[in-house]
Amino acid sequence: MSTTTMKTRVTSFAPQFLVDDLERSIAYYQKIGFSFGEPWDGFYAIGHLDGLEVHLKEAPKNQAERQWRRGNEHLDAAAGVDGIEAFYEQCVANGVTIIKSLAATAWGTKDFYIEDPDGYIISFGGSPAAG
């Protein structure tokens, strides 16, 4: 009997956000650069950007928890970006809701926070451009 050792690799890891209005949320994430296919049964959609995914599900959520997370700067997701300055400018130009502007971090990167229409907070960060 022969056994083959296969190196495993996680190929995706996506947040699932509960949203009040699926169409509104799809439009918002399209501003960031995500593309979507047709939603499933009108309540679930998966957005794709550079090999990454975000899952949106139209369903009730806990408003008190959302407020607590925002008030304490607890992130719902974080993403690494090559070309962080250009990506930030793209988000600003497209009307993405920025709640923390692009700024240097203590660990040598730059990051900014956005908030989606349902209160989810996402950090985008990356190495600053040389120069």
List the structure tokens of 35: 């593309």
Q: How far is CA 83 from the centre of its chain?
A: 16
The pLDDT value recorded for residue 62 is: 81
List the structure tokens of 38: 């047709």
Give the domain ranges of the chain.
Answer: 16-126
Do residues 86 and 128 lie in contact, with contact meaning Cβ atoms separated by under 8 Å? no
pTM for this prediction: 0.78
Q: For residue range 41-70, what is the model confidence (pLDDT) as tens digits?
A: 999 999 999 999 999 999 887 888 878 877
The CATH topology of domain 16-126 is: 2,3-Dihydroxybiphenyl 1,2-Dioxygenase; domain 1 (3.10.180)
Whole-number Å distance between alpha carbons of 68 and 23:
26
Q: Tell me the one-letter amino acid at 53.
A: E
Whole-number Å distance between alpha carbons of 118 and 75:
13
List the structure tokens of 6: 């296969």
Work out the mean pLDDT of the chain and round it to a whole number.
Answer: 89
